[in-house]
């Protein structure tokens, strides 16, 4: 049989007990006897998303398939979609993954295999969401020791583990040491770093109640934890270990999103109905247990992220773009928000995202920000958004904010905020 798996995913599939033969199948329509070969990667209500061997997504109505295919989906469809893999384009830059040990600590048993399986699964999740949103089969790059083992850098800290707690700047202190270590030893693969800490083991924190360590995003660095049962084998289990994995694994790939430049955002009404919970909303509480996805706006940001790039010559984040946005016309009715304008820049604008939310605004207050996006791929262009109010979740009051986010080719992001009152049906500041 022809091999169809990306080589870097073999370890994950073996850990899940899923073989290559289970991956691709022939889907046949009940009427007309038309068929297509591919792997199921998403179920949206009655619609199946199938990725072909040429990495193209085809949407098929479940109700239009042969009875044999419908029975197969009913029996194992969701599980198969979660476990399927796609062939990813090689990334030019890799995410730095560092296992951070206090001077008095040792790694949790089996960390290398467990974390490798988890990271390869997360890489596939991000890659499938990028493909689904029209950005190609791309994900964050991983440095590999072997086809199924991720290169995880072990770092022994200057102080004991208790010097790097969740509170009081422990994450910043650890991040500073890690960045100095990476640079001093020529180990840096990119400007994006995931630091993983073994859970504290004390009266409060155990393998079934892990915690105590930094667990949040710090710019292009993010922090997560490891514990004995942090294992892909428990993903989706309706058990204490399964629930625990959703919390900490969902949390890790949510915080990784922050480390990859992503802000919080919420699903539109249609996407929430069809796709579930946005990863950068409350997806850290649903991943593995309920449908969870990455929004188009988040994928637009990842499109300009260093570790998603396939171009080894592209430089990221060094030049602050010069951007002029004028004129800008934003109006609001009870049916829709219309945003029109044009921009000029010395750097290519890949996309424009729109964030809409009610107060309060700001970091960690933006979980309910509804997002919309449009591709630009130009230094100068007119743009227009017509956003139905029916698609906006949570904007019920009189006050709300519209934020334009310009995503640049070099990964830089520039925001332009505008505050509104529905009663006025016009901006109160520009």
Q: In 74-120, which ranges are E strands?
A: 94-101
As a three-state string, the secondary structure of 69-89 is HHHHHHHHHHHHHHHCCCCCC
Superfamily of domain 7-83: SLA1 homology domain 1 (2.30.30.700)
d(CA 139, CA 190): 14
Residue 265 DSSP one-character state:
-
pLDDT of residue 306: 98
Half-sphere exposure of 361 (CA within 13 A, CB side): 15
- Mean pLDDT in the chain? 89
Q: Write down the architecture of domain 323-427 according to CATH.
A: Sandwich (2.60)
Report the pLDDT averaged over residues 19-24: 50
d(CA 253, CA 292): 11
Number of Cβ within a 10 Å radius of residue 77: 17
Per-residue pLDDT for 145 more than 60? yes
pLDDT of residue 267: 93
Q: Which fold has domain 94-308?
A: Collagenase (Catalytic Domain) (3.40.390)
**Residue 292, SS3 per DSSP:** strand
When pLDDT is cut at 50, 70 and 90, the band that residue 427 belongs to is low
Least confident among 273-287, 312-326, 350-364, 372-386: 350-364
pLDDT in tens, 179-194: 999 999 999 999 999 9
Higher pLDDT, 425 or 122: 122
Higher pLDDT, 221 or 420: 221
When pLDDT is cut at 50, 70 and 90, the band that residue 19 belongs to is very low
pLDDT of residue 23: 65
Report the pLDDT averaged over residues 126-135: 96
When pLDDT is cut at 50, 70 and 90, the band that residue 7 belongs to is very low
Contact 178, 100 (CB under 8 A): yes
pLDDT of residue 30: 81
Report the pLDDT averaged over residues 142-162: 97
Report the pLDDT averaged over residues 263-270: 94
pLDDT in tens, 154-182: 999 999 999 999 999 999 999 999 999 99
Per-residue pLDDT for 326 more than 90? no
Per-residue pLDDT for 51 more than 80? yes
Q: Do domains 7-83 and 323-427 have the same CATH topology?
A: no
Of 370, 397, 133, 396, nearest in space to 272 by CA: 370
pLDDT of residue 207: 95
pLDDT in tens, 226-243: 999 999 999 999 999 999
When pLDDT is cut at 50, 70 and 90, the band that residue 24 belongs to is confident
Domain boundaries, the chain: 7-83, 94-308, 323-427
d(CA 119, CA 253): 9
Q: In 160-205, which ranges are E strands?
A: 193-198
Task: Enter the pTM of the model.
Answer: 0.90
pLDDT in tens, 375-406: 999 999 999 999 998 998 777 778 888 899 99
pLDDT of residue 44: 79
Least confident among 70-84, 251-265, 399-413: 70-84
């Amino acid at each position: 049989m022809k091999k169809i798996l990306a080589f870097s995913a073999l370890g994950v599939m073996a850990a899940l007990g899923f073989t290559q033969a289970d991956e691709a199948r022939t889907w046949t329509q009940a009427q007309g006897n038309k068929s297509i070969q591919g792997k199921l990667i998403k179920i949206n209500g009655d619609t199946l998303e199938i990725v072909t061997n040429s990495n193209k997504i085809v949407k098929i109505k479940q109700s239009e398939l042969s009875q044999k295919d419908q029975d197969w989906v009913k029996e194992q469809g969701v599980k198969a979609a979660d476990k399927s893999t796609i062939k990813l384009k090689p990334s030019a830059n890799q995410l730095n993954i560092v296992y951070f040990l206090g001077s008095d600590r040792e790694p949790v048993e089996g960390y290398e295999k467990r974390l490798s399986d988890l990271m390869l699964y997360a890489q596939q999740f991000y890659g499938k969401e990028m493909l689904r949103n029209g950005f190609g089969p791309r994900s964050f790059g991983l440095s590999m020791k072997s086809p199924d083992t991720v290169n995880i850098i072990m770092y022994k800290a200057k102080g004991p583990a208790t010097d790097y707690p969740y509170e009081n700047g422990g994450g910043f202190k650890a991040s500073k040491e890690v960045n100095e270590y990476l640079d001093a030893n020529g180990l840096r693969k990119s400007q994006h770093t995931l630091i993983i800490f073994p859970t504290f083991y004390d009266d409060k924190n155990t393998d079934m109640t892990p915690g105590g360590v930094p667990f949040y995003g710090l710019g292009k660095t993010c922090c997560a934890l490891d514990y004995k049962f942090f294992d892909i084998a428990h993903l989706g289990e309706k058990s204490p270990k399964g629930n625990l994995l959703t919390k900490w694994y969902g949390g890790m790939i949510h915080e990784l999103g922050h480390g990859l430049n992503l802000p919080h955002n919420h699903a539109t009404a249609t996407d929430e109905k069809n796709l579930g919970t946005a990863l950068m909303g409350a997806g850290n509480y649903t991943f593995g247990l309920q449908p969870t996805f990455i929004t188009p706006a988040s994928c637009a940001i990842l499109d300009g992220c260093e570790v998603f790039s396939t171009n080894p010559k592209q430089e990221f984040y060094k030049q602050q773009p010069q951007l002029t946005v004028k004129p800008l016309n934003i109006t609001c009715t009870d049916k829709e928000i219309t945003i029109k304008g044009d921009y000029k820049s010395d750097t290519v604008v890949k996309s424009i995202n729109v964030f809409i939310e009610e107060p309060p605004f700001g970091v960690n207050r933006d979980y309910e920000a509804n997002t919309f996006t449009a591709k630009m791929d130009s230094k100068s262009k007119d743009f227009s958004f017509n956003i139905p109010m029916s698609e906006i979740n949570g904007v019920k009051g009189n006050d709300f904010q519209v934020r334009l986010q310009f995503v640049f080719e070099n990964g830089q992001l520039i925001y332009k905020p505008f505050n509104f009152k529905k009663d006025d049906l016009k901006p109160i500041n520009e």
